Structure 1
Amino acid sequence: MDQGTVVALVMCVGGLLLFIGVPVGPLLAFSAMAGLYLIIGSLHAATSLLLVAGFDVASSITYVVIPMFILMGAIASHTGIVGELFDAAYKAVGRFAGGLAVAACLASAAFGAVTGSSISSASAMTKVALPEMQRYGYSIRLSTGIIAVSGTLAMMLPPSLIMVFYGIVAEQSIGKLLLAGILPGLLSALVFSAVILVRARINPSIAPPGPRFPLREVASSSVRASPFILVLVVLVGGILLGIWTPTEASAAGVVVVTIIGFAKRKLTMSRFFGASIDAVVTSAAVLLLVIGSILFGKFLALSGVTTNLTQMIKAAELTSFQLFITLLLFYIALGTFLEGISILALTVPIVLPIVLTTGWDPIWFGVILVKLIEIGAVTPPVGLNLYAVKSVAPEVKTSDIFKGSVQFWIADIGVLFVLFFIPEIALLLPSFL
């Protein structure tokens, strides 16, 4: 069987299995093994590649960053951090028209910078912020829309697991990628906040002012939430100053979050044990995706499909902007029914060689890719963050969540184009390493 036929067969069968719900990690691994067997003609060689890939992932210290960041996020989620972050932002800006929605956006960004989980951020913020916004008469569409969209900031801000995964699959510096996401993430939060304030000014009834708190109470709530900001300082500052590698920083982050949790008496041994179990299960799933992605990349390279696709793109003579638009449509479509890490595992081995031929910086492209996955996560009909909000607030109509997210979806597309035309926003901080 020729290589082209093998690739077509593997892609068709794999696509069918993906459609019926087969997990992406095992699907990639066994699809790659089947393809390698059909090309090489040796089952022993195909299984040997699986064993080698598994051993490399299990024995390499580089991959420790994945379970460490997952554990850090799991511990933070068990400490009640989201309530304290929202309370601090709520008391600081809630008195302005639209202030409660801005507070939810800022708290989501801070929570995402500790947990790295988009869906967890959207779910937790729905529980904490939505009742407050409803109590003060906020539009349900605006309230649920900003919660869903601002939850995606966890994908961009460190310790973003998606950034780490991209760095491993694309063989890029994880430290540079984590730093590259900071300014784009802050820019997105700023743009979302601006959209809220402008809409509240045009139509005050959708986002009326909240209560005004004494300065002492504002300061007190900020102090209570400030230890968790220390986590971001430990991670980013340590990497930027060269104190430690991303792997060492991830371990330090676990230690800092654990100490804060116990010191604030929000973390018990039973919660710590529960967070550890959650982290083990999630880490195993993610590392299986890593192994599957590595094998799938080897299969594509051996089959020659990446070389052929690269030559086709060159022959098409697409401009940089045309390629950008093509990838934008492609990834937004994928994001409507797949979560981010699965999208990276499926596509990076195919897309990255094409991207490198255009001269794009792979660190900058990682930021663009994560932003595209963010946008896909709130794109109807199956944006995962939209359904995360719905699952916590079942009384809210799905159509209202969709409609409430549209204005922020448009704003996010605008941020994406800003990053395309001004790549320095993403590359400034990594340039200091």
Structure 2
Amino acid sequence: MILQIFLGLLVLLGLSIPVGAVLFLLGVGVAQFHSPFPLLRGLGQVVWSASASSTLIAIPMFVLLGEVLVKGGVAARTYGALDKWFSWMPGGLVHANIATATMFSATSGSSVATAATVATVAMPQAERLNYDPRLFSGAIAAGGTLGILIPPSINLIVYGFLTETSIPQLFSAGLIPGLVMAAGFMAITALICAVRPDLGGPSRHYGWGERLASLRELVPIVLLFLVVIGSIYRGWATPTESAAIGVAMAMVIAVLGDGLSRRAIVEALHGTIRITAMIMLVIAGAYFLNFALTSAGLGRMLTQLLEGAGLSAMGLLLLVIALYIMLGFFVETLSLMVATIPIVVPIIAAAGFDKVWFGVLLIVLIEMALITPPVGLNLYVVQGARRGGSLTQVMVGVIPYVIVMLLMVAVLVAFPALALWLPSKA
């Protein structure tokens, strides 16, 4: 049954069927051929249960928060300010790409939105200053992945919902690894450009007066992050409530920056509806598939299979990591999460691993899937923002950053406290 589900997933996705529909079809197949119960009679109740959780209201709110910042021009002003602080380093403007992606990740919660925003703002600069297209575009694609690790993260909300794990703890657990990985991206960029200065383009130096003046563009974003995440971390607000506060603050910031027109508001609402509908369909499909798999006894079958293999806890973890790396080449990230979490996480938890820690590790692996061909969404988003060149250039450019992600996986496995220290202080 496991092999049938996996092959069915690949075939249906290969036919370009929407991910949510694929998950429902797989659930129907399992219910019809592998379950002794008439599960289809409960389809309506299962879908209702999946969509009625108040926790999920946070998803459209965080999506709207990011959309308001993009449409209101806040992201472009942030990029210009960070350019003045980081472009002196070896690699020049490439560091501004990563820094902007890091800061925008702290408000958007979406990798694709982060990559698209930075690419739209940065690409004209790359062409004007004659940067190497591979490293420049690769940094944007990789930096965009931070959107699902640095809180608020939509993917962490989905993980917390599916595994019944505390979302505030997941948010705090993802913060330090996210910042460390951003620093790793900048470090490897500086190293590459120190060895090959021709790849990084010209360093740009600004006076302290210009730098200090640019802080006025960064202060609103920092305050927004502190209010949204701080209210969750301190227990003053739920993720949903803090997201609503964040939307209100984002609108005020955009209005004060003279960037929130009526057209911008309409575009932000349309984008939010479109993205939220896609995510909710996927979650409902995954919920029904999980219900069918549980009724068919898949969890018991996997547990028996792994126990029979005689793997240690660490051996099991390494097997799961290898599985996610392999699947990441072929399966879209959100569908990879929702299709595997109900199966994998109970087994990982039974082996003694912390679910909060594994959630962060899983997101890093999912981030890798966003920039590995042939399915990596961020690759296509960045290529779409370019005026020329090939997709191969973007693929080559992300290689150093994939190495950093692999190192982060190793660090998280060796030092779980990197993710668990901050939640333990709550």
Per the TM alignment, residue 328 of structure 1 is displaced from its structure 2 partner at its CA by: 2.5
Corresponding residue number in structure 2 for 1:33: 28
SS of residue matched to 2:398 = helix
Matched, 1:21 2:16: yes
Match of 2:164 among 159, 167, 171: 171
Query: More deviation in 397-406 or 320-329?
Result: 320-329
Residue 50 (str. 1) matches residue 50 (str. 2): no
- Give me the whole-angstrom Cα distance separating, in 1, the residues matched to 2:367 and 2:353: 20
Question: Is 367-376 or 84-93 further displaced after alignment?
Answer: 84-93
Whether 2:325 is the aligned partner of 1:332: answer yes
Aligned: 1:225 with 2:193:
no
Alignment map for 1:380-395 (pairs within 5 Å): 380-395=373-388
Query: Which residue in the other structure is 2:298 paired with?
Result: 305
In structure 2, the residue corresponding to 1:18 is in which secondary structure? helix
Q: Which amino acid aligns with 1:325?
A: L
Counterpart for residue 101 of structure 2 = 108
Amino acid at match of 1:32: G
2:142·2:401 contact (CA, 8 Å) conserved in 1? yes
Deviation at 1:370, TM superposition (A): 0.6
Shift of 1:315: 2.0
Shift of 1:406: 0.9
- Counterpart of 2:119 in structure 1 is 126
Q: 2:254 aligns with which of 254, 261, 264?
A: 261
Q: For 1:365 and 1:8, locate their aligned partners in 2 and report how far apart those are by CA, in whole Å.
A: 24
Tell me the distance in 1 between the aligned counterparts of 2:132 and 2:244: 42
Once residues 118 and 346 of structure 2 are traced to their aligned partners in structure 1, the CA distance between those partners, rounded to angstroms, is: 38
| Structure 1 residue 117 corresponds to structure 2 residue 110 | yes
Separation in 2, partners of 1:8, 1:181: 32
Q: How many residues align?
A: 426
Cα RMSD of the aligned pairs, angstroms, is: 2.0
Say whether residues 1:344 and 2:337 are aligned partners.
yes
Identity %: 31
Q: Residue 46 and residue 393 in structure 1: after superposition, are their counterparts in 2 closer, same or farther (change >3 A)?
A: same
**Amino acid paired to 2:244:** A
Which consecutive aligned stretches of 4+ in structure 1 deviate over 6 angstroms post-superposition?
A: none
Whole-Å separation in 1 of the counterparts to 2:87 and 2:382: 21
Residues 24 and 288 in structure 2, CA contact (< 8 A), matched pair in contact too: yes
Which position in structure 1 is the counterpart of 2:237? 244
Residue pair 2:109, 2:151 contacting (<8 A) in 1 also: yes
1:310–1:357 Cα contact (<8 Å) kept: no
Deviation at 1:13, TM superposition (A): 4.3
Q: Quote how far apart the aligned CAs of 1:422 are.
A: 0.6
Q: Residue deviations 1:255-289, cap 9 Å, x none?
A: 11112112222112221122112212221221121
CA separation of 1:337/1:392 partners in 2, compared to 1, >3 Å: closer, same or farther?
farther
> Is contact 1:84–1:221 with CA below 8 Å preserved after alignment?
no
Q: Structure 1: where are the runs of 5+ without partners?
A: none
Unpaired segments of 5 or more residues in structure 2?
Answer: none
Evaluate the alpha carbon distance shift between residue 10 and residue 339 of structure 1 in structure 2; reply closer, same or farther with a 3 A threshold.
closer
Q: Does 1:199 align with 2:192?
A: yes
Residue 354 (structure 1) aligned with residue 344 (structure 2): no
Alignment partners' CA distance in 1, 2:328 and 2:10? 15
Give 1:185 shift: 0.5
Letter in 1 for 2:22: L
Amino acid at match of 2:12: L
Q: 8 Å contact 1:336–1:384 — kept in the other structure?
A: no
TM-score (norm 1): 0.93
* 272-281 or 417-426: bigger deviation: 272-281
Task: Give the Cα separation in 1 of the matches to 2:407 and 2:112.
Answer: 23
Structure 2 distance, partners of 1:139, 1:315, is 51
1:29 aligned partner, one-letter code: F
Q: Which residues of 2 match residues 60-99 of structure 1 at below 5 A?
A: 60-99=53-92
User: In structure 2, how many angstroms separate the alpha carbons of the residues matched to 1:289 and 1:321?
Assistant: 31
Specify whether residues 48 and 250 from structure 1 end up closer, same or farther in structure 2 by C-alpha distance, changes over 3 A only.
Answer: farther
Which moves more between the two structures, 48-57 or 360-369? 48-57
Deviation at 1:136, TM superposition (A): 3.4
